[in-house]
Amino acid sequence: MDEVTIQRGLSTHFKFEEFKSELQKNAVVEICQRKNDVLVSMPTGSGKSLCYQLPAVLHSDKITIVFSPLLALIKDQIDHLLALKIRAASLNSKITKPEREMIIADLKSTSPNTRLLYVTPEQAATTTFKVLYNNLHNFNKLAYLVVDEAHCVSEWGHDFRPHYLKLGELRDNCNVPCIALTATASAEVTKDIISNLRLSKDHRTFKTSCFRSNLFYDVFYPNMLEDPYKHLRNFIHECLKMKEEESLPKHKKSCGIIYCRTREQTEVLMERLNKLGIKTLCYHAGLKTHERLEFQDKWQNGDVPVICATISFGMGVDKATVRFVVHWGVPKDPASYYQESGRAGRDGKPSKCRVYYNRSDSKAVEFHLSQDLGRAGSKESRKKES
Ligand SMILES: Nc1ncnc2c1ncn2[C@@H]1O[C@H](COP(=O)(O)OP(=O)(O)OP(=O)(O)O)[C@@H](O)[C@H]1O
């Protein structure tokens, strides 16, 4: 496939006049050739999804299967693609029987309209999926197998998911190129991705440093501050360029996320900030579904600029104008912190990431470290045994 066709596809289907980076372009061009397996390791917000979505759309006679870890993430991707009039679907427990039947009928037809099919690794392990997959493979209808958040295949990854390991089995006797994508892959994780997903020896890698030059990080100790809540309010004013008497930023889209460790913390902090004149909502798994959707919508539309959330908020949140990410308490581990703070500044503009770190948090850090060390130890001993 030539570069002119690819460039035209970028503007026709995705409405972008140029690639976000040279690396994004090179990855897309390589993937479009369908010759090799490809590993894409690029920072949060760098446009990894386009690396497989554009090639998937350009191979208009085939289907791309995307393995993705979370239904919320899948929903977000599908909504985005449907808005661009790209046929994408997902087989999961949340869809109705008629919807499922319609998707399967299309996938079984001689010329399916579906370009991208999203499934979780757990769904990929079901018999229904395997039958469908074999059928598509045998009739040469598959363009790519895409593994999003590929670090989940590795026990060294911060997000290890045992079902991800089984995805490698789908690649046995399969000649469809595999595209693995991740934002956070250490050398160990990269090794595991390559071996667990059985990437070919001559696979191509498109990797860039995880450094985000527009993000500015700092740490404050609440114990040493006169009033941590006012300190946070001043930080919000500064990041959103708000004056004290204003309750909304001038740029309606400017906003921020405050990650808290517990549901209760999100509510307490929301209340405090509202009292201090900052319009704030909360988001956690304890809210009713309709409340969660409503609150996320209000934040997404810019009606409320700040959201206090547990880490369940974030995966799939793709708002370009997040000007700050605060951790009200210590993050779980460095890789999670990179992912979560990476929600900031996706439009490339300067943005801030701040941790408010309590001395008591060090106990939580020690606990997580000892868990990680335990995991690393058991992995080493399993390696020795095998
Ligand atoms: N060529 C492009 N030009 C302009 N914007 C782009 C381009 N490609 C992607 N984007 C936009 O960049 C943003 C980030 O893209 P995407 O969600 O794919 O990032 P990501 O690398 O998957 O990040 P994460 O790992 O955090 O999920 C999206 O809003 C997307 O529409």
Number of domains in the chain: 2
Same domain, 198 and 250: no
Comparing C-alpha atoms, which of 193, 210, 204, 244 is closest to residue 46?
A: 210
Considering the domain architecture, whether residues 185 and 285 belong to the same structural domain is answered as no
- Same domain as 158, residue 262: no
Q: What was the pLDDT predicted at 35?
A: 93
Residues 203 and 227 in one domain: no
Instruction: Take atom 9 of ligand 1 and give the residue whose Cα is closest.
Output: 47
Task: Judge whether 32 and 24 are in contact, CB under 8 Å.
Answer: no
* Same domain? 56 vs 161: yes
The pLDDT of residue 322 is: 96
Residue 379 counted as domain residue:
no
pLDDT at 23: 95
What pLDDT does residue 85 have? 96
Q: What values do phi and psi take at 106, rounded to 5? A: -65, -45
For the chain, state the CA radius of gyration.
22
Instruction: Give the per-residue pLDDT at 380.
Output: 58
Place of tokens 């992995």: 379
User: How far does residue 19's CA lie from ligand 1's centre (Å)?
Assistant: 10
Q: Ligand 1 pocket, 84 CB below 6 A?
A: no
329: domain range?
215-363
Which of 48, 68, 80 has most ligand 1 atoms within 8 Å of CB, for mutation? 48
CB 242 within 8 A of CB 74: no
Nearest partner of 204 among 41, 21, 37, judged by Cα: 37
* Ligand 1 contacts CB of residue 293 (under 6 A): no
| d(C-alpha 29, C-alpha 35), whole Å | 11
Query: Considering the domain boundaries, does residue 133 fall inside one?
Result: yes
Going by CA atoms, what residue is nearest to atom 28 of ligand 1? 47
Q: What pLDDT does 239 receive?
A: 96
Task: For ligand 1, pick from 346, 347, 353 the residue to mutate: most ligand atoms within 8 Å of CB.
Answer: 346
Number of C-beta neighbours around residue 130 at 10 A = 13
**Which residue's alpha carbon is nearest to atom 2 within ligand 1?**
20
Task: Report yes or no on 341 lying in a domain.
Answer: yes
Q: Does any domain span residue 183?
A: yes
Q: How far is the CA of 243 from the centre of ligand 1 (A)?
A: 31
Task: Give the residue from 269, 273, 251 showing the smallest Cα distance to 260.
Answer: 269
Asked if residue 372 belongs to a domain, the reply is no
- 10-residue averages of pLDDT along the chain (386 residues): 94 95 96 96 90 97 93 87 96 88 92 95 91 93 95 77 86 91 86 93 91 93 94 96 83 93 94 95 90 88 94 74 95 84 91 91 73 64 55
Structure ipTM:
0.97
pLDDT score at 174: 84
C-beta of 49 in contact with ligand 1 (< 6 A): yes
pLDDT value of position 378: 62
In a 3-state reduction of DSSP, which class is residue 304? Answer: coil
**Residue 352 located in a structural domain:** yes
Give residue 95's pLDDT. Answer: 87
Does the Cβ of 183 fall within 6 Å of ligand 1? yes
Can you read off the two tokens belonging to residue 317? 């949140």
Instruction: Tell me which residue of 217, 215, 231, 314 sits closest to 278, measured CA to CA.
Output: 231
Question: Is residue 325 one of the residues assigned to a domain?
Answer: yes
Same-domain status, 289 and 184:
no
Which residues on adjacent β-strands are paired with residue 207? 41
pLDDT for the residue numbered 45: 82
CATH of the domain at 323: 3.40.50.300
